[in-house]
Amino acid sequence: MIKRILIAVIALVLGFAGYIAMQPAQFKVSRSATIAATPATVFENVNDLRKWQAWSPWAKKDPNAKPVFSGPSAGKDAAMAWSGNDEVGEGKMTIVESKPAELIRIKLDFLKPFEGTSNSEFAFKPEGNGTAVTWSLTGEQGFVERAICALMGLNMDKMIGGDYEAGLAALQKVAEGKG
């Protein structure tokens, strides 16, 4: 009897491991908003990492986190490291590409809660009298991260999507002069 239970447990563990292994390692989260401001105005609030404190959803999740800036004040090679509570973790972001009023690409190096590297992108396009902004995140999840997400019934879109929506709403207020 114990042997059968042990075989069943091993089969379940192997089945779960197989299921996790079949899940895509790559992820993409993307959100968009239209902001009643010029692409240059919206771009300026993203391109200068010091301005993120006014609209970043993570700045609100841990107001005690102290960002540390390095490199130029804005644009390519501008960087910000952070260390915060469990909701914001620890890491560093570096602007790797900056095309005025068009595009910003950021490399995100996470240390906590999990080590990993992801890429974030902001695309700015004129739309009527405003700007369409698309904020996206791409990266890979290791086996352990995929297993945790599966056990918790989560995926990266569910985990980050709401934060991106809140961030874009706050960016909208700042860029439109309402916040």
Say how many C-beta atoms besides its own lie within 10 A of residue 96's C-beta. Answer: 16
The pTM assigned to this predicted structure is 0.82
So where are the chain's domains? 26-175
Handedness of CA 150, 155, 156, 158 (dihedral sign): negative
Which residues on adjacent β-strands are paired with residue 30? 136
Asked whether residue 90 carries a pLDDT value surpassing 80, the answer given is yes
* Of the candidates 116, 109, 115, 106, the residue with the CA atom closest to the CA atom of residue 136: 106
On whether the CB atoms of residues 20 and 147 are closer than 8 A, the answer is yes
List the Cα angle 106/96/112 in 5-degree steps.
45
Classify domain 26-175 by CATH number. Answer: 3.30.530.20
Asked whether residue 147 carries a pLDDT value surpassing 80, the answer given is no
Between residues 71 and 112, which one has the greater pLDDT? 71
pLDDT tens-place string over residues 1-28: 888 888 888 888 877 777 777 676 777 8
* Of the candidates 25, 26, 79, 21, the residue with the CA atom closest to the CA atom of residue 48: 79
Asked whether residue 44 carries a pLDDT value surpassing 70, the answer given is yes
